[in-house]
Amino acid sequence: MSLMITDECIACDACREECPNIAIEEGDPIYIIDSDLCTECVGSFDEPQCIEVCPVDCIVLDPDNQETMEELQFKFDQLEKED
């Protein structure tokens, strides 16, 4: 499952700096996570780094983008090939 940012976002920029896949971008008024790039940090970290640093706990699982751990790993592997 990809992650999403809720309306409680205060646009502090902490999450964007931590994302290893550059999946988080500034939106208006809140930040947005690109589900095509989000791997929930699978392949990079044990836990999603954006969730770890968010001061208002506004990053949650996106129910519209459900993915298994295997799918997230495959996505990570594909993104690594593109680099």
Q: Is the pLDDT of residue 1 over 80?
A: no
pTM: 0.91
Domain range annotation of the chain: 3-82
Cα angle, residue 22 at apex, residues 16 and 23 outer, rounded to 5° = 85
User: According to the model, what pLDDT value does residue 61 have?
Assistant: 94
| 58-68: average pLDDT | 94
User: According to the model, what pLDDT value does residue 75 have?
Assistant: 96
Amino acid letter, 60: V
Q: Which fold has domain 3-82?
A: Alpha-Beta Plaits (3.30.70)
13: which DSSP letter? Answer: S
What are the tens digits of pLDDT across the range 37-61?
A: 999 999 999 999 999 999 999 999 9
Q: Which contiguous run of DSSP H or E holds residue 53?
A: helix 49-53
Could you tell me the pLDDT band of residue 12, with boundaries at 50, 70 and 90? very high
